[in-house]
Amino acid sequence: MNNSQTMSKVHNFSAGPGILPQIAIDNSIKAIQNFAGMDLSILEISHRSKQYEAVVAEASQIVKDLLNVPAGYSVLFLQGGASTQFCMVPMNLLDENDTAAYLKTGEWAMRATKEAGLFGKVNVLATSENENYNWIPKDYTIPADCKYFHCTSNNTIFGTEMFSFPESPIPVVCDMSSDIFSRPVDVSKFDLIYAGAQKNMGPAGVTLVIIKDEILGKVTHKIPTMLDYRVHIKNGSMYNTPPVFAIYVCLETLKWVKGLGGVTAMETRNKAKAELLYAEIDRNPLFKGTCAVEDRSRMNVCFVLNKPELEEAFLTLAKERKLDGIKGHRSVGGFRASLYNALPIESVQALVNAMQEFEKANS
């Protein structure tokens, strides 16, 4: 039995690092052994080599192709995760006496809001915190006198997702860490998009930033070199040694997305997976969803048992059925099934089968 067959027996619902396409894993293993015919591992080659520069160039171009990135935007591969972007965004866009507008819809949005407060004033336009972030606020107005508006498109912990974005009179910044490349996005409506790779794009260790060049260079304070977007743009994501291997795996994953038909095809796949699982949650009398129906995430499906005392029994069954990573975050409890791009619908069906099996045993 080969490695691919062995791995496919486990259904990986991990919230992150999440499941990767098997072809991306296989090709990355080959690159570890011998990259680009160099008889060297990609783990040991110079990031200044022509062969590796071609990796970054191709990955950047595929990002532009998949999302139809307009002219005037730069694509960056940076380190520090989305959490570093929480401070990097206000550091580059906000002066001390300026105000930024934030939509607080979950744990990561809350952390981004807190970091922005270190650099300027923050206006929290709306939040669903008082209901454990189980819905997305929609009735708010973005003030024209703020420097930028920040939102989080998908909330990994609480299982909500923004399926539309407000019209804004100011630059829009969005953390798309957990739903990037899962659906089409009109990049022209955003001035800065950032996303940690470890959900839909690659392994942990690299962060994608898509930024409109003209919004930079307007703050009056000094910015540390490593936190200045302009430095990374000027140096093509290679001001310092980049996360070489992580970017390579991203390239292989992006090639897989493109080969399957791009983000439109991904959205079709992801809708089918989410609809299958939510239908079972709504049908099965043992389970119930935790979020407002209209805001239910396609990426992270959160649900609980109507009888919490059965939770451990269902987790035991899930383990027996090789359903990995479905235990819910402590903030919500219950279960969370992450349905990232690379998860096949067969894995979702396996989870549905287990839920139906559990219903028969406990009805």
| CB distance 127 to 104 below 8 Å | yes
Question: Does residue 30 have an active-site annotation?
Answer: no
Catalytic residue among 104, 199, 212, 273: 199
Q: Residue 151's closest CA among 183, 119, 189? A: 189
Residue 6 confidence (pLDDT) = 41
d(CA 147, CA 152): 17
Looking at the domain that runs over 24-259, which CATH code has it been given?
Answer: 3.40.640.10
Q: What are phi and psi of 90, to 5 degrees?
A: -65, -30
pLDDT at 8: 55
Which one of the listed residues 98, 175, 179, 191 is annotated catalytic?
Answer: 175
Assign 178 to helix, strand or coil. coil
- 354 touches 317 (CB < 8 A): yes
Strands (E), the chain: 11-12, 73-78, 99-104, 121-127, 149-152, 154-155, 160-161, 172-175, 192-196, 207-212, 287-289, 300-305, 323-324, 335-338
Domain ranges of the chain: 24-259, 262-362
Active site residue 186: no
pTM reported for the whole predicted model: 0.95
Q: Which of 108, 191, 212, 295 is catalytic?
A: 108
Residue whose entry in the numeric block shows the structure tokens 């992270």:
300
Residues with Cβ within 8 Å of 320's Cβ and at least 6 positions away in sequence, in order, are none
pLDDT tens string, the chain, 363 residues long: the values are: 343 434 458 999 999 999 999 999 999 999 999 999 999 999 999 999 999 999 999 999 999 999 999 999 999 999 999 999 999 999 999 999 999 999 999 999 999 999 999 999 999 999 999 999 999 999 999 999 999 999 999 999 999 999 999 999 999 999 999 999 999 999 999 999 999 999 999 999 999 999 999 999 999 999 999 999 999 999 999 999 999 999 999 999 999 999 999 999 999 999 999 999 999 999 999 999 999 999 999 999 999 999 999 999 999 999 999 999 999 999 888 999 999 999 999 999 999 999 999 999 998
Active site residue 175: yes
Per-residue DSSP letters for 205-245?
T-EEEEEEGGGSS--SS---GGG-HHHHHHTTT-SS---HH
Phi, psi angles (nearest 5°) of residue 126 = -165, 155
In total, the chain counts a number of residues equal to 363
Residue 318 tokens, joined: 């899930």
Q: How is domain 262-362 classified at the CATH fold level?
A: Aspartate Aminotransferase, domain 1 (3.90.1150)
What single-letter DSSP state applies at residue 199?
Answer: T
